[in-house]
Chain A
Amino acid sequence: MNRLNHPQLGLGIGWRPELALDIERRGDLGFVEIVAENINPDAIPPPLLKLREAGVQIIPHGIALSLGGAEPIDPARVRRLSDLARRLDSPLVSEHIAFVRAGGIEAGHLLPLPRTKAALGVLIDNVKRARELLDVPLALENISALFEWPGGEMSDAEFVSRVVDEADTGLLLDVANVWANARNLGGDPIDFLRQIPLERLAYVHIAGGEEREGTYHDTHAAPVPQEVLDLLAKLCQMTSIPGVMLERDDHFPDSRQLNSELDAIAEAFAQPRKHSVTAHA
């Protein structure tokens, strides 16, 4: 990916059938993201095609490639992403810095990787293989984790930075995950933002979650907490981001709530940039 030439995406949202009507009615969306595993490239839902015709960009987002898995990646899964991107004329596709299966068992969840040089090597190798099979650029997303592996040889920020730098991909930064990890596992979310290569930023995810028994769960089923919106505003002061989108997967809000949430994100996105805080370690 040309690091200085990320496509401008603007304000976006994760497209879900339950939100399709509100998405269609909202006139200021520059892009939507679709979960690649839920959309058949041969039977793309008509509302998506309509959005595409209206000039809204569509980004296929994979959740099952298991790029951090020890098993070699499945070319058929990459081809599906590639097919969707081709049919929807997508500027890029995205996936996660995670693994989702091992030893023949599906986790049903994005799981964190050991932050070791060995695991990083396997991940980079898989990402490079996936890139060879893709016709469009790939952006990788930082996940939220509820536990850490022992024997970590680098910080989360360093691990994320090294994979996107060494595999030469874009960065899909999930600010809610940065905030959730700092809250659940410790660390400073602003430090995390200062340590990652923001020039690789392809777009940003933001979402809400819920507090259960002292732990914050990034469920995408609740409004975005103010602290996460503040973190987005901070990020927008540090760098100009190509796009930001809301992820909402459950307990869908009514039109008014959804629009006010998108307005709040658009407001944070419009923060004037302060050059002084753009310190990149």
Chain B
Amino acid sequence: MPEDREILASEQATLISALHGIGQLPAGIDADHLKLAAASLARKRFRAVQKTWPATAAALGNEFWEVSRSYCDQHPAPPENPFEDGYQFVQWLERKRMLPPEGRVELACHRVTGSGLPRILYDSANRELLILLRMRDAVRTFRLKLSLNPARLFKREPRQPRV
């Protein structure tokens, strides 16, 4: 019986590692089936992330599933908590400059919650300055509409010559 457990332990550990893309495939298991199981695992993992990071997931649309799959390949062992998994994923997107504006706001919100320090973001699509503040237990977002486009400060259009 103890030997049975030892053999099973090694078989199961090899299998889980293979599902996470680590080590060799266990002998005798159909590689295509295992690939399917790994894809299904990644999808399940990111369904949980989708729920804890809804704005980022919604903003990415279908791309969320493609990007998360490649993230899973590079980060096989997730933390147990889906929020933390998503936090690391969103920061990875930020480093790769792939985080959509809604995701930047969501990330900033959680950072303000965590640190208590306010954050300022610029939303170029709406020309708004976002100020995120923690007030009691919630993060509040104040939006300042800019009448001046900051991009124009740096890129002056040539003046029309007077006729």
Contacts and interface: CB of A to CB of B under 8 A. Distances in A.
Interface stretch (B40-48, B89-97, B109-117, B143-151): B40-48
Contacts of A101: 16
B47 A250 contact: yes
Interface string B19-54: 110000011111001101100110111010000000
Chain B at the A interface: mostly helix, strand, loop or mixed? Answer: helix
A146 B38 CA distance: 10
Interface in A50-83: 69-71
Contacts of A250: 47
Contacts of B9: 70-71, 102-103
Interface of B: 1, 4-9, 11-13, 15-17, 19-20, 26-30, 33-34, 36-37, 40-41, 43-45, 47, 77-78, 80
B43 to A, nearest CB: 8
B40 A109 contact: yes
Which 7 pairs of residues, A with B, have the shortest CB-CB distance?
A150-B28, A103-B13, A70-B9, A102-B12, A147-B33, A70-B8, A118-B4
Interface in A201-254: 213, 215, 217, 221, 250
Contact of B16 (A111, A118, A215): A111
Interface of A: 69-71, 99, 101-103, 105-109, 111, 114, 118-119, 121-122, 125, 145-151, 213, 215, 217, 221, 250
A149 B80 CA distance: 26
A114 B8 contact: yes
A217 B65 CA distance: 16
Nearest to B13: A103
Contacts of A107: 16, 19, 41
